[in-house]
Amino acid sequence: MSVLQLTISGLREELQAQRTSAVAVTRRCIERIDNTDDQLNTFVSRCDDSAFQDATAADVRLSAGKAATLTGIPLGLKDIFSTKGLRTTCGSKILANYVPVYDATVVERLREQGAVIVGKLNMDEFAMGSSNESSAAGVCRNPWDTNHVPGGSSGGSAVAVAAGQVVAALGTDTGGSIRQPAAHCGVVGLKPTYGRVSRYGVIAYASSLDQVGPITRTVEDCALLLEAIAGYDPCDSTSVDCPVPDYQASLRDGVAGKKIGLPQEYFIAGLDPAVKAAVDAAVEVYRGLGAELVPVSLPHTDYSVACYYLIATAEASSNLARYDGVRFGVRHCTGGGLIDMYQQTRSAGFGAEVKRRIMLGTYALSSGYYDAYYLKAQKVRTLIRQDFLKAFEQVDLLLTPVAPTAAFKIGEKMDDPLQMYLSDIFTIPANLAGTCAMSIPCGFDAAGLPIGLQLIGKPFGEEEMLQAAWAFEQATDWHTCRPTL
């Protein structure tokens, strides 16, 4: 059995039939990590010993006929989730030695299901980035071409799944940080509706935008993993008490008769021809499956990037104020008073991109500018959400590109922050609107780099969105393509 071909659904059948064991599968994944991570720089922290302990416990459950959906499945975690006893750095020097004393709710739920956690995955520092180049652990590389970025901020999660290091992974998405790396690495990534999945124990970037979601090889796996982590959590004040559907059971309902909207603002002049061709081909696939494709408008889309970089940076300024060298994390102090210690700690602990966003956010919140920037951005956000709700009165789903281009070269946009920010122009609006969205593979460019198709669903409409994604996946074979390392 090739690690590259493992899926949650397929592996679950093999394990429950006892044609393989959780220990054997975990060993294969660890061997794969050993053989490829020098090229990819995917893992920040590994826990091989505890992974084998978890796998052994999973085999006991399997032998006793007490297996859950994820029992014995090797998974990776973006290094933003609190993991009891396992270092959690959030890609930053300031948390280089931070070891949480508790598990995030989503990690608890994975452990309850019997999943095998094999390690923590590389990411942009504090989830601030679109290329995984701002990580204190160094650049993570795209497995399709190691000279290119994997996307960010959940770059390590997407790379680990695409490269066969783990069967699936969790990431977080604040402005596209699951969908964009999934698209660039040729895997499936889903951002749930805000409030669908608990954020308790997730290190915060922008609290009104952050959401936890799965990165997998197939849509079916995505449905299984989402169902495992979704649901109300009293520890998270933003968690919504909403029933979690049986996502896998309804996948095969298809898209015949569904209305899928094509927002005109997403098919812009700057769209790479290869991306446009791949998305146009996907539209024809859906038409052939019996869906009705309908032009729609989201008129405030042009304001989404500016709106996002006011709201997200303002919330980051507030959330990251806690990293001051006092209670946890790295402390730098070469003398002087308390203010000197704050300055030295934050200057040495934060990277350039995090500092840039803290300064932008602090400015937006400062006296005399709050109304002009942050408050106005919140009003624009309301207009963007209303655009989506109005569109969903006409259609069941929206279809767009994930990113304007395939993965760009490492270093290509590091000196031009604005161009880097524009990489998320198609993903940011769904976060501002608080609705669900996902990326599925839909083609390759001339250089052999993957292209992603974005589906955007109604609030708490993950079930219908997954149905549409599964229908496309069954009609194509893009999801079966794997990089060669």
pLDDT tens, 2-31?
Answer: 766 889 999 999 999 999 999 999 999 999
Using only the alpha carbons of the chain, give its radius of gyration: 21
Average pLDDT on 320-334 reads 88
Residue 415's pLDDT band, with cuts at 50, 70 and 90, is confident
- 390 carries an active-site annotation: no
pLDDT at 269 (0 to 100): 83
Cβ neighbours of 251 (radius 10 Å): 21
Write the DSSP string, 298-320. -TTGGGHHHHHHHHHHHHHHHHG
Average pLDDT on 79-95 reads 97
pLDDT at 328 (0 to 100): 79
127-169 per-position pLDDT tens digit:
999 999 999 999 999 999 999 999 999 999 999 999 999 999 9
Rounded distance between C-alpha atoms, residue 240 and residue 197, angstroms:
8
pLDDT at 437 (0 to 100): 98
Average pLDDT on 448-465 reads 98
Indicate the range of 63-67, 261-265, 334-338 predicted with least confidence: 334-338
Tokens of 453: 């198709």
Average pLDDT on 187-215 reads 98
- Stated as kind and residue range, the H or E segment containing 443 is strand 437-444
pLDDT at 4 (0 to 100): 67
Annotated catalytic residue, options 21, 130, 131, 153: 153
Q: Hey, what amino acid is at 262?
A: L
Average pLDDT on 100-129 reads 98
The superfamily CATH assigns to domain 3-258+395-480 is Amidase signature (AS) domain (3.90.1300.10)
pLDDT at 79 (0 to 100): 98
- Whether pLDDT at 433 is above 70: yes
The number of CA neighbours under 13 Å toward the Cβ of 450 is 33
Contact 235, 268 (CB under 8 A): no
Residue 1's pLDDT band, with cuts at 50, 70 and 90, is low
271-295 per-position pLDDT tens digit:
999 999 999 999 999 999 999 999 9
What average pLDDT does the structure give for the chain? 96
Annotated catalytic residue, options 78, 191, 258, 413: 78
- 258 carries an active-site annotation: no
Q: Which sign does the torsion angle of CA 481, 146, 1, 116 carry?
A: negative
Rounded distance between C-alpha atoms, residue 428 and residue 402, angstroms:
10
Tokens of 279: 């998305």
User: How many angstroms separate the most distant Cα atoms in the chain?
Assistant: 70
Residue 335's pLDDT band, with cuts at 50, 70 and 90, is confident
Residue 483's pLDDT band, with cuts at 50, 70 and 90, is very high
pLDDT at 485 (0 to 100): 84
- 153 carries an active-site annotation: yes
Burial class (CB in 10 A: 0-12, 13-18, 19+), 71: buried
pLDDT at 430 (0 to 100): 98
Average pLDDT on 406-429 reads 93
Q: Cα angle vertex 443, ends 439, 449, to 5°? A: 95
β partners of residue 401: 453
228-239 per-position pLDDT tens digit:
999 999 999 999
Annotated catalytic residue, options 82, 177, 239, 423: 177
Backbone angles phi, psi at 168, to 5 degrees: -160, 170
Range with the largest mean pLDDT of 164-173, 324-333, 412-421: 164-173
